[in-house]
A and B are shown apart, each in its own frame.
Chain A
Amino acid sequence: MEAVLLRARGVPDSRVIATYLAAGGYEGWKKALAMAPDAVTREVTDSELRGRGGAGFPTGRKWSFVPKDHPGPRYLICNADESEPGTFKDREIIEHDPHQVIEGIAIASYAVGAKTAYIYIRGEFVRWARILEEAIEEARRAGFLGKNVLGSGFDLDVWVHRGAGAYICGEETALLESLEGKRGFPRLKPPFPAVVGAFGKPTVVNNVETLACVPHIMTRGAHWFASIGRPRNTGPKLFSVSGHVNRPGVYELPLGVTFREIIYEHCGGIRGGRKLKAFFPGGTSAPIMTAAEVDVQADFDACGQAGTMLGSGGVIVLDETVDMVEAAANVAHFYAHESCGQCTPCREGADWCKDVLDRMVEGHARAADPETLLRICRFSSSGMTICPLGDAYALPISSMVNKFREEFDRRIGTATPLPQKKLPVLPWAGPRPGFGV
């Protein structure tokens, strides 16, 4: 397909506003400003654009939840806290085409009536935060942001807000807490952010890629957007492919393409001529798929029907050399580290899974371990926690145990008893200067 979101990739000086304008940039913003905000939302609703951050919620509907009659300020937030393992698409958009994101932010802000927008970007992305700040400054000087944008009477400020290292802040309510200057603890929903969001005001949180789609919907129309992909799964989608493929990277493909096409055609197949064993379709938070499931279509509904999820479109490919117990332990380490600690099933469960899996990897599996893992996962999924991080570790780990059970059972047959149990002692890194200890 024709490149839409990645059309600037490979173009010289693609980040500069002049290049963006030459390619028809900010035309969507001009068009939106000439429309009523509701009409803009309707156009996005008609395009059937679904959120690209992971949940796949219809973007137009999300915007329409913002109360029309709310007196005070509202906020738009661009979620650039890209942290889902296997996902690196938002960074690609920002690297090559930051103005596309800013234009999307402007249009979305106008549609929901927000005069202030924040881009919450993960702390590690220092370079990309800088790129965005430069682009915002360019857009402001060109009159696309700031007071009385293009003489329309609409004011809009966009600020970059850097996170400081926490996966959980990609979850929208944790992001809001973090933006407000607090620890990133997810909030109970309802109320949803569209009603009570940042600073207690109505707020829309959209992913970078979602917002990057918006200018194209404005200029080329909802109908054009909906003609790409499948019904209810429309538009171009960025797939981040990593792991054991010949050509890892970010690929822009219509939703509904099969994982076979992604892995074998676009990414050149498995490295070293080896066989595919399994893959994560949408980051490690999505249940794993086996090689036999490679013909599933990569879109929200088809993945859902196959018992997994498209998530952020982060495809992690694992070849036949991968030991599933080790891979599960790696996944468990991630979530044990990233659980915010608020809810017991997630805080304790992820850590417990990690301990059990580490023990299995080290050759000390116990007969009950696979069942223990499944039990911990059951206890942490389906609404047992405030935010979806409980599911995010429970679903992949339980799917790995279920789909590759024989590998977990094999560990039991060859296991030796755990050596003399040592009391866990927290490592101490020495005194902290200034505390007088």
Chain B
Amino acid sequence: MSTRPLVAAPPETIAEVTFDATLEERIVDLLRRYPTRRAAILPVLWLCQERYGWISPGVIRAVAQRLGESPAFVEGVVSFYTMYYTRPPARYVLQVCTTLSCAYCGGKELVEHLKGRLGISFGEKTPDGEFQLIGVQCLGACGGAPVVQINDDYYEQVDIKRLDGLLDELTGRR
């Protein structure tokens, strides 16, 4: 399994956004599934995050306009959930579970090691934009504690040695 890096569009390129035909086609397909346009907000935001890497204010305005909502409403939705990036993410976002089972099965040590190796705290990015560290709550994989999610992929029963190997592999692949 190889985790694909995230590619974040530079802010200036998505200051104003117009959906192209491919994206528009997928939005139309989504709208077919719900009785209201508003219900498509989460899925359309997911499409946008897939395409642009993150949800800029320009993306919020475009989504709002397409779905007939105010930008403030869409912004309110975006900010309620934890998974929409409102600033450009690193290529690899490391989400370490800090909840009970993980914390007691090696998660605490993993967090300390990662902070030391990368020289960053939770919520920060390495200066080269390669890694970002986030402490998250239960990922729903407690049987495989400790769990680290890298971008979309789950890695379970991660110890320090395996994590180091993973990070080496990810950085080596550039």
Q: Do they bind each other?
A: yes
Q: Per a CB cutoff under 8 Å, which of B57, B82, B138 touches A164?
A: B82
Chain B residues with a Cβ closer than 8 Å to the other chain, count: 50
Whether A211 sits at the interface, judged by CB under 8 Å, is no
Whether A274 sits at the interface, judged by CB under 8 Å, is no
Whether A240 sits at the interface, judged by CB under 8 Å, is yes
Q: Which chain A residues numbered 387 to 411 have a C-beta less than 8 Å away from chain B?
A: none
| Contacting pair B142 A87 (CB below 8 A) | yes
Q: Per a CB cutoff under 8 Å, which of A83, A166, A241, A284 touches B81?
A: A166
| Contacting pair A199 B36 (CB below 8 A) | yes
Q: A164-B82, A331-B100, A337-B137 are in contact. Are A182 and B77 (CB under 8 A)?
A: yes
Contacts of B36 in A (CB 8 A): 180-181, 199
A109 to B: closest C-beta gap in Å: 15
| Docked complex Cα distance between A331 and B41 (Å) | 32
| Contacting pair A199 B39 (CB below 8 A) | yes
Q: Which of A100-108, A298-306, A427-435 contacts B (4 or more CB under 8 A)?
A: A427-435
| Contacting pair A432 B87 (CB below 8 A) | yes
Q: Per a CB cutoff under 8 Å, which of A127, A181, A240, A250 touches B41?
A: A181
Contacts of A179 in B (CB 8 A): 39
| Docked complex Cα distance between A338 and B140 (Å) | 14
B60 to A: closest C-beta gap in Å: 9
| Contacting pair B104 A322 (CB below 8 A) | yes
Contacts of B123 in A (CB 8 A): 427, 429
A147 to B: closest C-beta gap in Å: 14
Contacts of B41 in A (CB 8 A): 181-182
Q: Per a CB cutoff under 8 Å, which of A166, A250, A284 touches B143?
A: A250
Q: Which chain B residues numbered 4 to 23 have a C-beta less than 8 Å away from chain A?
A: 11, 14-15
B118 to A: closest C-beta gap in Å: 17
| Contacting pair B139 A124 (CB below 8 A) | yes
| Docked complex Cα distance between A222 and B144 (Å) | 35
Contacts of A126 in B (CB 8 A): 152-153
Contacts of B42 in A (CB 8 A): 161-164, 178, 181
| Docked complex Cα distance between A331 and B34 (Å) | 37
The residue on A at minimum CB distance from B30 is A159
Chain A interface, DSSP helix/strand/loop, else mixed: loop
Q: A166-B80, A183-B76 are in contact. Are A243 and B104 (CB under 8 A)?
A: yes
Q: Report which residue of B11, B43, B140 has the largest number of chain A beta carbons within 10 angstroms of its beta carbon.
A: B140
| Docked complex Cα distance between A154 and B7 (Å) | 44
Q: Per a CB cutoff under 8 Å, which of A88, A167, A429 touches B137?
A: A167
B30 to A: closest C-beta gap in Å: 9
The residue on A at minimum CB distance from B79 is A183
Q: Per a CB cutoff under 8 Å, which of B15, B38, B142 touches A88?
A: B142
Contacts of A178 in B (CB 8 A): 42
Q: Per a CB cutoff under 8 Å, which of B34, B57, B143, B144 touches A434?
A: B57
| Docked complex Cα distance between A340 and B81 (Å) | 10
The residue on A at minimum CB distance from B78 is A164
| Contacting pair A123 B83 (CB below 8 A) | yes
Nearest 7 A-B pairs (CB), nearest first? A433-B11, A165-B82, A242-B142, A164-B81, A165-B83, A181-B41, A181-B38
Q: List 12 A-B contacts (CB under 8 A).
A: A85-B137, A86-B138, A88-B141, A124-B83, A164-B84, A181-B42, A182-B38, A244-B105, A248-B143, A248-B145, A330-B99, A434-B15
Q: Which residues of A contact B (CB under 8 A)?
A: 73, 82-88, 91, 122-127, 157, 159, 161-167, 178-184, 199, 240-244, 248-250, 280, 284, 314, 316, 318, 322, 327, 330-331, 333-334, 337-338, 340, 427, 429-430, 432-435
4 additional contacts, CB 8 Å, given A124-B149, A316-B142?
Answer: A124-B83, A163-B81, A243-B105, A330-B103
